[in-house]
Chain A
Amino acid sequence: MESNQILEIIYILEDSFIGEYVRSSLWLFPVIQSFHLIGLGILGGSVVLGDFRLLGILFRSESVSYVILQTKLWFNIGLFTLVITGVPLFLSEAVKCYYSRAFWIKISCLILGVIFVYFVRNPMALKSRNNFLLKFIGSVSFSLWVVTAASGRWIGFS
């Protein structure tokens, strides 16, 4: 797809009903942002607990699979909250996001992070007993989510 085709779609998204609605309100954007942050906290907690177990920092006397199973639901709840609040935030300033490098870094890491957690980290955590591999998986996952969150904050500075 050519870049001006993408830009056309971006303009359609920005002009969408939700985008328009969020922009027209003084309060809505900040309020949605706040809940986005709370979602980040929920996801952050489950990522920290899970990845720190993989890294061998937390819950050393509990098994890796136990910690992942205990945090899985809250990872999903956090991610759901983030997406449901993140989409309207994006729609309200889609064009600005398109030109923001921070936004593209964030989206790339987010997609990688989601794929990694559901298809690599969680299945491997339930199966593998290779401590070195598990530590590697934990550090990849943690790094991806740190960059996602930090670059997300940077969208607001660009």
Chain B
Amino acid sequence: MMEFIEWLASTSSSVALRESLYLYPWIESAHVLFIAIFFGTLLFVDLRLSGYVFKELSITEMNKKVLPLTIIGFILMCLTGFLLFYAIPIRNYQNLFFRIKIILMIIAGLNAYYFHRTMNRESKTWDKDSHIPFVMKFSAVSSLLLWSLVIISGRMIAYNWFDCDRQPQSEIINFLTSCIVETELYESLDGI
């Protein structure tokens, strides 16, 4: 894996992105805007499901109207997010918060998959009803919570507290970030 990441970092477009003065900030600003579109529209989908807004619309109607926008936001968010990763691959790959974020995104994805599978199968029975099954409400709230945690851990990637080039770190941190520390070097530095 590390070899692949190192290769990614050595590609000319990765170097160009990394060394660009304005492109990287522009991509990051776009990423933030797409987060707002994705998270904001998802919020309303989940609020409808919990029965707080747009009660005059059925849940499937609400989903049909709003979810396309959520998906567009998601795709653009992932695209810009990938470019941000691609600009600094090694540092991101070994970043603790980046790893936490990816795990949280996988969980959020599984939750969304479960949610929509159940939704497609059962929603006809409670679509216009106010008695939405508890598991579905729970899943909607979890989705908001999970994506909030994704946003928080994403924001934390920028901070270098646990970065590999900031030693000494505790062993567990170096393990979690796949950081190999050349201890001999540090010991010899201690001697100086």
Binding site for B on A (CB under 8 A): 26, 30-31, 33-35, 37-38, 40-49, 52, 58-59, 62, 66, 70-71, 74, 146, 149-150, 153-154, 157
Contact = CB atoms under 8 A, between A and B. Distances in A.
A74 B43 contact: yes
B40 A42 contact: yes
Interface stretch (B105-113, B150-158, B180-188): B150-158
Contacts of A40: 32, 35-36
Q: Helix, strand, loop or mixed for chain B's interface?
A: helix
A37 B155 contact: yes
Contact of B25 (A38, A43, A154): A154
B13 interface: no
Contacts of A41: 35-36, 38-40, 43, 151
B54 A70 contact: yes
Nearest to A26: B161
B65 A44 contact: no
Contact of B156 (A30, A35, A59, A62): A30
Q: What 8 pairs across the A-B complex have the smallest Cβ distances? A: A45-B40, A44-B36, A41-B39, A44-B40, A34-B152, A150-B29, A153-B29, A157-B25
Contact of B69 (A37, A38, A48): A48
Contacts of A59: 65
Interface residues of B, number: 32
Nearest to A153: B29
B47 A48 contact: no
A109 B158 CA distance: 26
28 contacts: A26-B161, A34-B151, A34-B156, A35-B152, A37-B151, A38-B39, A41-B35, A41-B38, A41-B39, A41-B43, A44-B36, A44-B37, A45-B41, A45-B43, A46-B40, A46-B44, A48-B36, A49-B41, A58-B66, A59-B65, A62-B57, A66-B56, A74-B43, A150-B30, A150-B33, A153-B25, A153-B29, A157-B28
Contacts of B57: 62
Interface string B58-70: 0000000110010
A47 B37 CA distance: 9
B53 A45 contact: no
B4 interface: no
Interface of B: 25, 28-30, 32-33, 35-44, 47, 53-54, 56-57, 65-66, 69, 148, 151-152, 155-156, 158-159, 161
A70 B47 CA distance: 11
A37 B152 CA distance: 8
Contacts of A38: 39, 148, 151-152
Contacts of A149: 29, 32-33, 36
Given A71-B53, A74-B53, A48 B40 contact: yes
Contact of B37 (A34, A48, A62, A66): A48
Contacts of B29: 149-150, 153-154
A48 B151 contact: no
Nearest to B28: A153
Given A34-B152, A38-B148, A149-B32, A43 B40 contact: yes
Contacts of B152: 31, 34-35, 37-38
A11 B3 CA distance: 49
A43 B35 CA distance: 12
